[in-house]
Structure 1
Amino acid sequence: MTGTTGTSTRVEGVHLAGIGAFVPNVVSVRSAARRGLVDEDTATRSGISGVAVAGDLPATEMAVRAGAEAIKNSGLAGADIRLLLYAGVWHQGPDGWGPQYFVQRELLGDDVLAVEVRQGCNGFFTALELAVPYLGAAAENTAALIVASDNFGTPLIDRWQLGNGLAYLGDGASAVAVSRAPGPVELRSLCSASYSEMEGAHRSGLPLFPPGVTVGTSVDFRSRAESFRDAAISGGWWMRFLAGHNARITQCADRALEEAGVERAGVKYVLTHGMPRQSAISYLRLLGFPFDRSAWEFNRTIGHLGASDHFVTLHHLLAEGVLVEGDHVLLSGYSPGLTYKSAVLRITGRAPVRG
C-alpha cells in the first residue's frame, strides 16, 4: 500500500529466529548529577534513572557479542547467514573503515554480503526493510543477521547534554537473525515514511562543508533545533511542520497495524526510542495508546541506545517472559531526515532468547 507520506508492506513468511543484546554497566543519573554532568532538577523531571556506559569497549565488539547471542539463540548454522547488515548512529572506528567487516570476520566468514546502514536511530528498521526482499529472492534456507551498536563516549558529543525532550545517550548493541523458516517471532508488517522538508532540523545553523567532525566541532542538537525552530517560526512554517511531523508518526503506525490486521486493543506493548517520561507520554498519546502499554519503565534504566532501543527492549521483554505466544508488539520510531518507521511483530512460539 502506498500513501502520500510513505509506504507500508504486509510481510509474510519472515521470522526473527534469534535475538541478541549487549548492554554494558549502567551509570545512575543521580551519580551523574553529583558529578555535575547533569542538572539535578532536569534529571528528576526526565524520569531517566540510568544510562548504559561502555567505557572504552568499541561498538564493534559489542556488536559481535550481540550477534553471537542472536545466532546461538536462532539455532541457525553460520553457513545459513548470507547477508549481514550493520546499523550505527555514531562513529564506529577509524574513518575509511567498514565496521560490518569486523563483525563478518568474527562471526560469519567471507561468503556473506556485508553492508553498513546509516539511517540514524531508525537504522535497524531500515535494515529489516532491506533484509525482507533479499530473503524473498534468495534460496529457502538463507538467513540474514542484522546488528546495531554504538558507543557515544567520545569527545565530540556529550551524552548528558543533548537538549530538551531528548534522553541521555546510552551505549549498547542489539542483533536479530532473520529467516524465512518458521520461527518464534513473526514480522507482520513494516512501514516507512519521511518528511524531507524538515531535513534541516538536525543541521540548522551549520555549514554542510567541511563536515564538523573533520574540524573538531562538537555535536549540539539543542542549538540546531533552536535555530531551525526560530527560522520556521519567523517564516510562518513552524505549526505546519509540527502538525506534519505528528501526523506522520501516527499514520506510519496506523498503516503498520492495518497491514498486519491488528487493532490497537490487540497490541500488548508499544516499543519506542528511549526518551524522557513526558516525551514518552506525548508520543504514546500520538500513537493512540495509554502510557502503560509502553516499555518506558525499562527504557528509563539505560538511556537512548541509538539504533538499538527497540530490539534491546524486545530482548528484555522476552527474557523476562513478559511476552508470550499470540502477543502482538508495535515498534515505532523516528530519526533525522526526518524518517518515520513502524513494524508489527507477533510472538508465535519458543522465545528467541535463552538463558
Structure 2
Amino acid sequence: MSAEGTFRTRTSTVAIDAVGRHLPDRTRSVAELPELAGLTEADRLTCLRLGIDTVAVAEDLTAADLAERAATAALAEADVPAGALGALILVEPRAPETLISSEATGLQHALGAENALVFSVGGLGCVSSTPALLAARGLLAADPGLGPVLVVHGSKPAGEHRYRHPVTVNGDSGLALLVGRSHAAAPVRIVDLAQYTNGRYWNLFGLEYRDRPTAQWREECTDLPGYSFRLAMESRRRLVELVAGLLARNGLTPADIAGYVSQNLSAGGMAFTEEILDITLLPSCRDNLRALGHQGPNDTFLNLHTALERKELAEGDRAVLINVSPVAAWSVLLVEIGPRNGRGIVA
C-alpha cells in the first residue's frame, strides 16, 4: 500500500461567517528564551536567524483556554448561541493537558454547545486545520438541516521549550472559524481545497514523553539532512502541483489570484515558498512571523485576518492559503473575499 495520500475536492462553496481569535497581550523576545543558553553556538544562531523577533505568550492559559476564548469571540461576533451549533470540531493541541479525558467535549461543555455533534481531528501538525474544514464542509453538505459548524484550535508548545530546532519558534493563540453554507454576504468563502500527505516522513519529528517530566521534553528531528534537503525538494514539487491543480480545476490562472498567504515557520521558509511558486506573499505573513512566531494550524487564518484588517485584500479578491507540515503534509485553500460588513473578522 502506498504511503502517500492525496485529497482534492470541488464541491459546494462554504462560508466562514465569523473568525474569532485570542492573542495574548504579552510577548517574549526570542533572543531571551531560556533554552537558548543550552544550545551550541551554531544552533543558537539558527534560531536567531528564523526571522522571529518575539512570540506571543500566555503562560497562565492552556490550549483549551485559548480555544474557548476564541470560540466565544466567534459566536459573539456572529450572534449565534452555542446551543445552535450543528457541530463542534476541535483541532487537537500538540499535547493534551490530561490523557484519556476529552478536550473536545470539555469545550462543548464550557461553551454550552449541548446540541452539537462533537469530535476532534489531528495527526497532521500545522496542516490539521485542513481536514477539520473538510469535515465541516462534508457535514454541511450531508445534512441540509445541520446548524453552523465551529472549528477551533488552541496553539501552545508541547513542553516548556518554544524553539523547535531547526524549524521555528512556537507562540500561543486561539482561533475559531464559524463555518456555514455559502451566501452572498459571507466575509470569506472557501471555494476549493486540496491536501497531500506522504507517510514516509511520519516520524521525522518526535517528542519522547513517557516516564519523563515535562522539563525534559525535547522535540527532536530524527533526520536533519532529510528535513533540510529531501523534504524541501519534495515540498517544492508538491506545492507546485497542488497550486497548479487548484487553479486549473477552478478555471483560474495566477493572474486571477490577488494574494497568497502562508504559515509562519521562518523567513527562509517564506522565501522558499515565494521562489518555487514565483509569487509574493502578503506583507501580513512576515509581520506576524516576526511578532507572533509560529501558531501551528492557526497561522494561515491569523495572517488572512491581518491582511483583511489592513485591506491588503478587497471584496471579490481571490487568495490562496498554503500550509506545510514536516510529518509530511501539504494543503492549499482557495478563498474568495466577500463584502466588508463588519462581521467575520474579529479580535
- Residue 134 of structure 1 pairs with residue 142 of structure 2: no
CA distance in 1, matches of 2:142, 2:106: 26
**Residue aligned with 1:93, SS:** coil
Count of residues paired in the alignment: 332
163, 166, 169: which one pairs with 2:165? 163
255, 274, 284: which one pairs with 1:284? 274
301, 304, 311: which one pairs with 1:321? 311
202, 208, 212: which one pairs with 2:208? 212
CA distance in 2, matches of 1:126, 1:93: 23
Residue of structure 1 in register with 2:128 after alignment = 123
CA distance in 2, matches of 1:263, 1:53: 40
Query: Could you list the per-position Cα deviations for residues 163-219 of structure 1 after superposition, in whole angstroms to 9, with x for gaps in the alignment?
Result: 22x12111111110000151221111010111122324225xxxxxxx822222623
**Residue pairs, 1:1-355, within 5 angstroms:** 6-24=6-24, 25-32=26-33, 36=37, 41-119=45-123, 120-140=125-145, 142-152=147-157, 154-155=159-160, 158-160=161-163, 162-164=164-166, 166-182=167-183, 183-203=186-206, 212-216=208-212, 218-222=217-221, 224-226=222-224, 242-291=232-281, 295-349=285-339, 350=341, 351-354=343-346
Q: Which moved more, 1:59-68 or 1:84-93?
A: 84-93
Unaligned residue ranges in structure 2 (runs of 5+):
none
Check conservation: 2:92, 2:122, Cα contact below 8 A: yes
Query: Which residue identity does 2:210 align to in structure 1?
Result: T
Taking only the aligned residue pairs, the percentage that are identical comes to 20
CA distance in 1, matches of 2:227, 2:314: 43
Runs of 4+ in 1 over 6 A off after TM superposition: 37-40
Unaligned residue ranges in structure 1 (runs of 5+):
204-210, 231-237
**CA distance 1:9–1:48, change in 2 (3 Å):** same
Query: Which residue identity does 1:176 align to in structure 2?
Result: L
Q: TM-score, normalised by structure 1?
A: 0.84
Q: TM-score, normalised by structure 2?
A: 0.86
CA distance in 2, matches of 1:33, 1:95: 28
CA distance in 2, matches of 1:152, 1:272: 20
**CA distance 1:150–1:89, change in 2 (3 Å):** same
CA positional deviation for 1:32: 3.5
Query: Could you list the per-position Cα deviations for residues 307-336 of structure 1 after superposition, in whole angstroms to 9, with x for gaps in the alignment?
Result: 111122222223333332112121111224
**CA distance 1:296–1:260, change in 2 (3 Å):** farther
CA distance in 2, matches of 1:247, 1:301: 30
CA distance in 2, matches of 1:274, 1:81: 30
Query: Which residue identity does 2:172 align to in structure 1?
Result: D
**CA distance 1:257–1:75, change in 2 (3 Å):** farther
Check conservation: 1:18, 1:176, Cα contact below 8 A: yes
Query: Which residue identity does 1:62 align to in structure 2?
Result: L
CA positional deviation for 1:294: 6.7
Query: Which residue identity does 2:224 align to in structure 1?
Result: E
CA distance in 2, matches of 1:34, 1:215: 21
**Residue aligned with 1:193, SS:** strand
**CA distance 1:82–1:37, change in 2 (3 Å):** farther
Check conservation: 1:53, 1:153, Cα contact below 8 A: no
Please tell me the root mean square deviation across aligned C-alpha atoms, in Å: 2.7
CA positional deviation for 1:42: 3.6
